Structure 1
C-alpha cells in the first residue's frame, strides 16, 4: 500500500497545475515538443520527437556516446569475425523490463527477446519504417540466454551504428501479444511510462532498477521527465525564459535575432540567465545538379567558387553552422577531414572558368527550392549575378519539392541530408550508381565506375583507418566533378537553464537524460 500511495502522490505532483511543486526531493526535467509525438513504439521511431522519447524508455544491444563511438548497453561486449559477417553479443544479466502486472516477477532480458524484437521489426504485417536496418542481415539467433548472434549477408562496417538506432530496441513479447502497446510501452530504459494525454502532456518516471551506473551511482539522476506539446514555438520559448521549461532545442527564425548576435553568441541580456550549447549536427545543406541534364563542369565549378559561404552564414544564419568548404561529408563524423579540398570563395577563379567554358551567359539557370531556404538561394543568386550567371529561383511547397527531387524532375535543386547513422557511408551512398532515385537516394544521378569501385571497397573494409581514407577519396571525387554545391554543415543549438548539469549530446542530436542533474528544483518548478 505504501508503494502505491507513494506513486499516487508522485503522479499528483507531476500533473499539478501550479508552477511550484512543494517537494524539494523531486527533480523533474521539463521540455516542450512542438511537433507532437504520435507513437512510443521504437519500431516507428523515425522522427526526432519519437526518437527522443523512445531513447528514455528503451535500450538496445549497443549505444552511441557523445563522440559517436559505439558503446555497450544491454550487450556488455561483442565479437566480430575476421570476415566481418558474424557478430556475437554477450548480454548483461542484470537488465530487466519495466515492471508490469503481466509479469509475475522481475522479467530479465534474455537473448530470445532480441530474436522476437527483430522478427517483429522485419514483419510485413507491422510495416515498420525501421525494417531497413536489418536488410543486410542473413540470420540471427539466441545461442543461450546471454548470447545473441547476428550473421550478415555481406560485410558492412557501420552495422554496429545501425544497431544503436531506436528501431533495434528490445521489447517484451508478453506485452506485445497481450496488451495495447500504446498504453503499455514497456522497455528497459532509464525512465518508464507514467501518463499520456494526447497533445497535452507526456510523463515518464525514473526506472528504479535501471542497469547502468555512473561512477558507482545509480542512474538516472532525475526523478521524472514531463513533456508538453505547445505548438507555438515563441510561446514555448517564453515559457523557457520564465523557467517553466528546462531546455529548448534549436532556435526559430521568429526570435533568432532577439537571442543571438550575428556571430552566434548570446546577446547580453541573456548571458548568465540561460546556457547555450552548440555542436556539429550531422546534416549537410547543399545544392544538387541532375547530372543527366547538367550544366557544363566548369560552370558547376564556377557556381561553387562564386559565393561567400562564411558571409552567407553570418548574416542569414547567425553563424549557426560551418561553411562547407571541404566536401559533402559533414563535420562531426570521425572520417571528416579539414584537409579535404573543396571550394572557397574565389570570384576571380569563377569568372575565369566561365570564360573558359564559353557558356552562353544569356542562358537562364533555374534553381528550385522551398520558402524556408529562399533567403539563402537569393543570396547565392545575387552573388552569381556578379560573375555573370543568370539564376532564376523557383519556389515550391516542401512536399512538392521533395517529390520532384525524388523523381528527377529538377535539374538544379536545394537539398539536405541528415544522417540516419554515424558513418560517412550514409552520405556517400547518395552518389553510388546503384542507388539512382526513385529506387535509392542518388538524386543527382551521379555515375562513375571508379567511384563505385571505391564505394564497394569501403563498405567491405573493416579497418576504420583504411575505410576513412577511401571515404575521403570518394568525397574528393564528388567535389572535383562538382555534382553538388555544399553550402554548410549544420549545428545544433541547445538552450538550458543554469541549474541543469550533465546535459550532453552528440552530433546525431540525441536526447540522453539519464546523466542529467537538476539542482534547486523548487525554485524553477
Structure 2
C-alpha cells in the first residue's frame, strides 16, 4: 500500500476541504501546485500540544515557533535581538527590566475576538502570558523559568499598552535568554478563556503562520499570516512560504522514504540505520547523494558526557575509586574522542577537548578553557599517583548507559582497559537511568545537557552547589566555583561575564566530576529547491525566510 494512503478516509476529506481553498496537502494531489509553496516536514515523535506553556520538547517548540512571537529572539549568531519588543532598559541594580513593545503587531483573526477580527497586541498580553506560566492551575512544565527569580507579587506589570516591566528577586542576567524561550510566547487572554483546555489545539498567536487544522497523529496544517508584522530588507512581507504541513509518521524508515520521494522537504537528523548509506565516516554526503540533496551541519547546544557522582557523604561514593580526582582525570585522558567521533558518529559532532560549555555559545573558547585530549601515558601516570599502578588493585567501575549509546560505552570501556581501568557497561532504559541519577544512585553514568537558552550559565548551573539533582546530577560542590557563579549572575558586561564562565569551566575540568564526550551538531538533509534554510544552534526550526522553488 502506498504510504500516502495511510491516512484515514475522513482525514483525507477533511484536509481536502482546505486544499480547495489554498492547495495544501500531498494526499490531494496538490503537493506541487505552482502557485502555492508549502513546506513539508515530519515529526516522528508526534505532537502533544500547540500551547506554548507546554513547549518542553522540540516537537512543541518547532510548531509554536511558527505560530507565536516572544519579546526577544535569538539570531543565527546566538545574539539576542528584538522581536515583539523594540528595545529594553535595565535598572542600575539589575532587578528591573523595562520593555518597549512594537505598535504594529496583531493577533490572527479568530472567533475569540469581537467580530472575529484579530486585535492589536499590548503589554497586558505579555503580563497575562507570563502570569499564566507560573499559575499553578496552568500546570506548565515551564514554570521553573520564573520560580525563585521573579518577584511573585509585582514581577510582571503592564505600565501601559506599549510598556512592560519585569522585576527580579535578585540579579539574573540570563533572564533575557529565558525570555526568548517558547514558553514565553505571547498569547491573548480571550483565546484561553474561550477554548479553555482545548486551547492546546486551537492556537491564536501573532507569528508568521496561523493555524488551519490539526488531526492528532495525522497532520498539522498552518498557513501564511497575511498580516505578519516583519518584512525583509527589501520591504517584502514575511514569510515567503504559503504554508506548512507537518506529518506524523512514527517510523524513521517511512520518514526517510518520504524524503527520498520528495514528499518531505527536509529531515532532522539521520536515523542510525541510514547513517552509513548517506554519510561518509568524515561526515560528508556520499557521492550518490551529492546532486540530490544538501547536507546542513552546524553546532547544536548540547553536550554528551559521562557524569561522576562526587558527593562525599553518599555511601556509593565513599566506596568508589571515582572519589579520587586523579582517577577521574585518568579516565578523561584515557580514550580517544576523535576516533570515537569518526567511527561511531560519522564525525557528527566535535570531540569535547575543551570544557563542559559546548561550542556554539559566544563564550566558548577552547584556548581559554583547555580540556582533556587522548594521552595514555598521562592517564597511566595519574593512575600510579592515585595508588593504582597500571590499574593494579583498582576495583571494576560500572558505567550506566541507555540502549542507543551502548556502543559508545563499549568503545570507552575497551579504550580504558588499555590504561588499566576496567569498566563494566550496563545498559538500562532511559527512564530508569533518569530515576537513578535524580536520586543520586548512579555513581558513573552517561548524560547529556541541552541548552534552554543561549548562555553558558545554562551549563554551569549544573554544578552550582545549591542546586539539587536535577540539574546537579553529580552533586558537585565547590565554594570557589559557587562564588564565581553568583558573581556572573549579576554581571551585565558580556566580556567580563564570559571570563567568569571560563574560570568556572576550568575548575570543572580540573575537578573532573564529568567526562566531556562531544559537543553536538545538528544535521539536516534538505532538498535542493529549498533556500534560506538556516536553523540556529538551539536547533529551532526557522521558516520565516525560507523559499521553496
Task: Please classify the TM superposition score into its range, dividing by the shorter chain length.
Answer: over 0.9
Q: Secondary structure at the match of 2:200?
A: coil
Of 337, 349, 355, which aligns to 2:378?
A: 349
Shift of 1:62: 1.1
Shift of 1:387: 1.0
Q: 1:395 to 1:22 in 2, by over 3 A?
A: closer
Shift of 1:15: 3.9
Kindly provide the CA deviation profile for residues 308-346 of structure 1, in whole angstroms up to 9, marking residues without a partner as x: 000000000000000000010000011100211111100
Kindly provide the CA deviation profile for residues 82-115 of structure 1, in whole angstroms up to 9, marking residues without a partner as x: 2211111111111000101332344000111111
Q: Which residue of 2 aligns with 1:455?
A: 485
Q: Secondary structure at the match of 2:323?
A: coil
Q: Which residue of 2 aligns with 1:318?
A: 346
Q: Matched residues in 2 for 1:247 and 1:450: separation?
A: 46
Q: Which residue of 2 aligns with 1:133?
A: 145
Query: Please, which moves more after superposition, 132-141 or 221-230?
Result: 132-141
1:60 aligns with 2:79: no
Shift of 1:21: 4.2
Q: Which residue of 1 aligns with 2:453?
A: 421
More contact order relative to length (CA 8 Å, sep ≥ 6): 1
Please say if residues 299 and 357 of structure 1, whose CA atoms lie closer than 8 Å, have aligned partners that are also in contact: yes
Query: Please, which moves more after superposition, 419-428 or 182-191?
Result: 182-191
Q: Which residue of 1 aligns with 2:532?
A: 502
Kindly provide the CA deviation profile for residues 65-91 of structure 1, in whole angstroms up to 9, marking residues without a partner as x: 111111111111111112211111111
Q: 1:386 to 1:113 in 2, by over 3 A?
A: same
Please say if residues 361 and 390 of structure 1, whose CA atoms lie closer than 8 Å, have aligned partners that are also in contact: no
Q: Which residue of 2 aligns with 1:522?
A: none
Q: Which residue of 2 aligns with 1:244?
A: 263
Kindly provide the CA deviation profile for residues 122-171 of structure 1, in whole angstroms up to 9, marking residues without a partner as x: 11111101111222111121111111111111111111110001111111
Q: Matched residues in 1 for 2:32 and 2:460: separation?
A: 54
Please say if residues 329 and 512 of structure 2, whose CA atoms lie closer than 8 Å, have aligned partners that are also in contact: yes
Q: How does 1:69-468 map to 2 (within 5 A)?
A: 69-103=79-113, 104=115, 105-135=117-147, 136-138=149-151, 139-179=155-195, 180-215=198-233, 216-292=235-311, 293=317, 294-339=322-367, 340-359=369-388, 360-437=392-469, 440-468=470-498
Q: Matched residues in 2 for 1:178 and 1:204: separation?
A: 21
| TM-score, with length taken from structure 1 | 0.95
Gaps of 5+ in 2: 1-15, 312-316
Count of residues in correspondence between the two structures? 512
Q: Secondary structure at the match of 2:358?
A: coil
Q: Matched residues in 2 for 1:446 and 1:470: separation?
A: 18
Q: Which residue of 1 aligns with 2:11?
A: none
Q: Matched residues in 1 for 2:400 and 2:165: separation?
A: 47
* Structure 1 vs Structure 2 CA RMSD: 1.5
Q: Matched residues in 1 for 2:355 and 2:219: separation?
A: 42
Please say if residues 39 and 548 of structure 2, whose CA atoms lie closer than 8 Å, have aligned partners that are also in contact: yes
Q: Matched residues in 1 for 2:377 and 2:295: separation?
A: 39
Q: Matched residues in 1 for 2:331 and 2:32: separation?
A: 61
